[in-house]
A and B are shown apart, each in its own frame.
Chain A
């Protein structure tokens, strides 16, 4: 298993994303003898080993189902353990596309945070490229480092460093590592203090792209000023809005049905009144004005109740009930008419961050 390729059959030691529900994807390291416990039951890892990626499996008791998915950076970003705020796919995919990051690119990322974007970057720059990622928070750094190693990302150097204080140069085994980055992504509170420290690590004789990711407009302002002061050009700030929809069905309720239903209610009310009159007449022995209503025997109480409110009628689903009021109707039930609709997600991320792009023509002293 590696984020840099695909395989078909799950083996011991592989990472599997157990898809329990849209909002519940659990990363698991497959190990014989272990068990994945979910609210839908227990799933022994042994049934996963030898299964195909993509297979649906049932729990040990034969009920409850989950899907076993192959990890991709996009699925990972919706299943990973959050240690910080993360960059989601609508933002990260645009940044990658706009900066022209491809296989072979050399990218600087600070800070690493939860490593969400790191995975997407590592995949895209791939074996021929390199990801240089920096994190100053020690336990986050350690966790990210272990995670990237567990995930067999072959093409990264993670550095425990405050980049705003100490810059981006990397020394390994007493030698300065050639970073020569062609793209830079800064997701930290004060990118303007890191920008002046980039000169020594960006590739020479090249056009370098940068994206600074900041939630507040005040940060953008300082970032723009720092970029200008450092000779970056083509500065442009944008926001990415990602919206999501799901296919749903909405019941078609026609005006004619509504009219018919009211007619029906009215008819029943009249029936009820007639019934009451009849009962009263029978009791008082007075003649009935219009006796063309058939009266079934019943207690007075029942009759008044029916006449006074329509609620009990529909609750008992009596009378004309075109939309299944009071009955549980399954969405898409063929007894009814449906309209295909797309429903937006309940809560929308209306603001993630501002993305400030610029480029630097590092053409001098090659």
Chain B
């Protein structure tokens, strides 16, 4: 395996030292962490865990903090039934199984419907917050969480009157609050998006997983491709492209500031060398006016020899950057990119038409915006531009359902936004054909007007 292949062979199965991964907490909170061997990672009020305890396990594994940062693997985030407890020896060994059985026993005593439940709010719960806090102080063992839940159930006058369904809901809520469990997941592009979206939807331009997915497909992202990208999501789109390309091909990122903002890549599964190798960056000025790029002038060696070390360093750094820029300028001059993804608040209708010349024949042009008006304006602009074939605007929305057998229905709420995707194909109009507006009916059936299609 070459150095680069190694850099790209991301371990997707086993949790290894130094990996960046996603930690899911019972409260549905997410964390991106680096697993430094020998270290420990804090999960806030859920406690902390020793990194070494999770290494060697598989992505998707759930753990429970049992004793001062020590963790053991457990079957899942919540107790779902006796099956889990039987199947997993680790869980059976922990004292939890007895508690789990209790919960199931309790669950079986449930009322058939909620008829007898009275809405007394906090009064049905005899255990006070002070009691709970007191219990928490008594120890950090993993069983404490379960013990608290146990006590809460005992203190809940009408728990038995609830239906199995609402008991489960109640237990899940309580478990989320008190169980010291977490799952370690592989940090794929969807997880990265979920994490940053959770922090601030605006920072990822309100991008949804379904919009990200359809952009990857429409742009035909695959290993070996040579793509153009404008990405204002902090690098989420770039991350998804790199994930699909798995080390082969190139992404030329065009940005409007001094440096591109790829904050997402700072904590990623990709090594810095791998990213450097595949991702080339250039600002819009250098992209559109390459003549402003001053060619690098090598100084005589004797002169450099006389430099102080710090100055020497600066010289070599500047040289490296200048040569890099030169390479990117060459790439841009060649053009013929295998497609473009554009997701920026810089108005697409002003920018995208200027990029078209650089895109190869029959390659896709994919533009994302949180607003339909923005992609619509672009669509109007290019509808007179014979270089873009069949421009259309697509929005996909995923509607989640509750999937409890017998109670299947769409969830009461779902996220509202998710963005709009423009998709068109770069083509070469035949010379001599001028744009003809839409709506003029074909006079002869056999004279297809280019804009009609």
State whether B336 touches A8 (Cβ < 8 A): yes
Contact with A361, one of B58, B213, B445 (Cβ below 8 angstroms): B58
Q: Known contacts A4-B222, A247-B383; is A52 also within 8 Å of B361 by CB?
A: yes
Q: Known contacts A245-B376, A246-B379; is A63 also within 8 Å of B447 by CB?
A: yes
Stretch in A53-61, A167-175, A189-197, A304-312 with 4+ CB within 8 Å of B: A53-61
- Determine the distance from Cα of A331 to Cα of B439 in the docked complex, in whole angstroms: 5
Is B42's CB within 8 Å of the partner chain A? Answer: no
Contact with A64, one of B379, B400, B448 (Cβ below 8 angstroms): B448
Is B390's CB within 8 Å of the partner chain A? Answer: yes
Chain A hits for B438, CB < 8 A: 248-249, 330-332
State whether B448 touches A65 (Cβ < 8 A): yes
State whether A65 touches B403 (Cβ < 8 A): no
Chain A hits for B248, CB < 8 A: 103
Chain A hits for B26, CB < 8 A: none
State whether B427 touches A207 (Cβ < 8 A): no
Chain B hits for A103, CB < 8 A: 222-223, 244-246, 248
- Determine the distance from Cα of A73 to Cα of B221 in the docked complex, in whole angstroms: 11
Contact with B363, one of A54, A221, A329, A333 (Cβ below 8 angstroms): A54
State whether A244 touches B393 (Cβ < 8 A): yes
State whether B396 touches A241 (Cβ < 8 A): yes
Is B237's CB within 8 Å of the partner chain A? Answer: no
CB distance from A196 to the nearest CB of B (A): 16
CB distance from B453 to the nearest CB of A (A): 5
Bits for A214-242, please: 1 = Cβ < 8 Å to B, else 0.
00010011001100000101011111111
CB distance from A80 to the nearest CB of B (A): 15
Stretch in B276-284, B307-315, B429-437 with 4+ CB within 8 Å of A: B429-437
State whether A128 touches B246 (Cβ < 8 A): yes
Among B214-235, those with CB < 8 Å from A are 214, 216-218, 220, 222-225
Contact with B338, one of A6, A40, A41, A73 (Cβ below 8 angstroms): A6
Bits for A333-351, please: 1 = Cβ < 8 Å to B, else 0.
1000000111000000000
Bits for B395-428, please: 1 = Cβ < 8 Å to A, else 0.
1111111010110101000000000000001111
Stretch in A85-93, A264-272, A283-291, A294-302 with 4+ CB within 8 Å of B: A85-93
CB distance from B417 to the nearest CB of A (A): 14
CB distance from A345 to the nearest CB of B (A): 9
Is B347's CB within 8 Å of the partner chain A? Answer: no
State whether A332 touches B437 (Cβ < 8 A): yes
- Determine the distance from Cα of A75 to Cα of B425 in the docked complex, in whole angstroms: 10
Is B452's CB within 8 Å of the partner chain A? Answer: yes
State whether B224 touches A5 (Cβ < 8 A): yes
- Determine the distance from Cα of A212 to Cα of B223 in the docked complex, in whole angstroms: 27
Q: Known contacts A224-B405, A356-B403, A359-B60; is A93 also within 8 Å of B398 by CB?
A: no
Chain A hits for B408, CB < 8 A: 217, 220-221, 237
Chain A hits for B105, CB < 8 A: none
Is A151's CB within 8 Å of the partner chain B? Answer: no
State whether B60 touches A243 (Cβ < 8 A): no
CB distance from B338 to the nearest CB of A (A): 5
State whether B338 touches A242 (Cβ < 8 A): no
Closest to B448 in A: A40
Is B391's CB within 8 Å of the partner chain A? Answer: yes
Bits for A38-56, please: 1 = Cβ < 8 Å to B, else 0.
0111000000000011111
Closest to A54 in B: B361
- Determine the distance from Cα of A341 to Cα of B379 in the docked complex, in whole angstroms: 10
Is A319's CB within 8 Å of the partner chain B? Answer: no
Is B370's CB within 8 Å of the partner chain A? Answer: no
Closest to B410 in A: A239
State whether B428 touches A52 (Cβ < 8 A): yes
CB distance from A2 to the nearest CB of B (A): 11
- Determine the distance from Cα of A340 to Cα of B381 in the docked complex, in whole angstroms: 10
Bits for A102-121, please: 1 = Cβ < 8 Å to B, else 0.
11100000000000000010
Number of interface residues of B (CB under 8 A): 85
State whether B396 touches A90 (Cβ < 8 A): yes
CB distance from B380 to the nearest CB of A (A): 5
Q: Known contacts A93-B217, A330-B440; is A20 also within 8 Å of B222 by CB?
A: no
Chain B hits for A4, CB < 8 A: 222, 224
Among A181-200, those with CB < 8 Å from B are none
State whether B361 touches A236 (Cβ < 8 A): no
Q: Known contacts A97-B213, A237-B408; is A53 also within 8 Å of B401 by CB?
A: no
State whether B223 touches A54 (Cβ < 8 A): no
CB distance from A68 to the nearest CB of B (A): 7
Q: Known contacts A74-B218, A247-B383, A342-B376; is A207 also within 8 Å of B60 by CB?
A: yes
CB distance from A91 to the nearest CB of B (A): 9
State whether A247 touches B399 (Cβ < 8 A): no
Bits for A14-50, please: 1 = Cβ < 8 Å to B, else 0.
0000011110000000000000000111000000000
State whether B426 touches A56 (Cβ < 8 A): no
Chain B hits for A330, CB < 8 A: 437-440
Contact with A70, one of B223, B362, B392, B437 (Cβ below 8 angstroms): B362
Is B360's CB within 8 Å of the partner chain A? Answer: yes
State whether A21 touches B362 (Cβ < 8 A): no
Contact with A233, one of B76, B212, B214 (Cβ below 8 angstroms): B76
Is A123's CB within 8 Å of the partner chain B? Answer: yes
- Determine the distance from Cα of A220 to Cα of B410 in the docked complex, in whole angstroms: 13
Bits for B366-395, please: 1 = Cβ < 8 Å to A, else 0.
000000100011011001001001111111
Contact with A53, one of B225, B361, B390 (Cβ below 8 angstroms): B361
Q: Known contacts A65-B430, A67-B389; is A97 also within 8 Å of B60 by CB?
A: no
Is A205's CB within 8 Å of the partner chain B? Answer: yes
Is B210's CB within 8 Å of the partner chain A? Answer: yes
State whether A123 touches B379 (Cβ < 8 A): no
State whether A94 touches B58 (Cβ < 8 A): no
Among A117-143, those with CB < 8 Å from B are 120, 123-124, 126-128
Contact with B396, one of A41, A73, A94 (Cβ below 8 angstroms): A94
State whether B403 touches A237 (Cβ < 8 A): yes
Among B71-89, those with CB < 8 Å from A are 76, 80, 83, 87
Closest 4 pairs between A and B when the two form their complex, measured CB to CB? A54-B361, A97-B213, A207-B60, A247-B379
Given contacts A56-B450, A97-B210, 9 further A-B pairs with CB under 8 A are: A54-B363, A56-B429, A57-B430, A64-B448, A97-B212, A205-B13, A236-B401, A238-B398, A240-B397
Interface residues of B (CB under 8 A from A): 13-14, 58-61, 76, 80, 83, 87, 186, 188-190, 209-210, 212-214, 216-218, 220, 222-225, 240, 243-246, 248, 336, 338, 360-364, 372, 376-377, 379-380, 383, 386, 389-401, 403, 405-406, 408, 410, 425-430, 433, 437-441, 444-448, 450, 452-453
Task: Give 12 A-B contacts (CB < 8 Å), ordered by A residue.
Answer: A20-B448, A52-B361, A56-B429, A58-B430, A70-B363, A103-B244, A206-B13, A225-B405, A240-B398, A241-B399, A246-B393, A342-B372
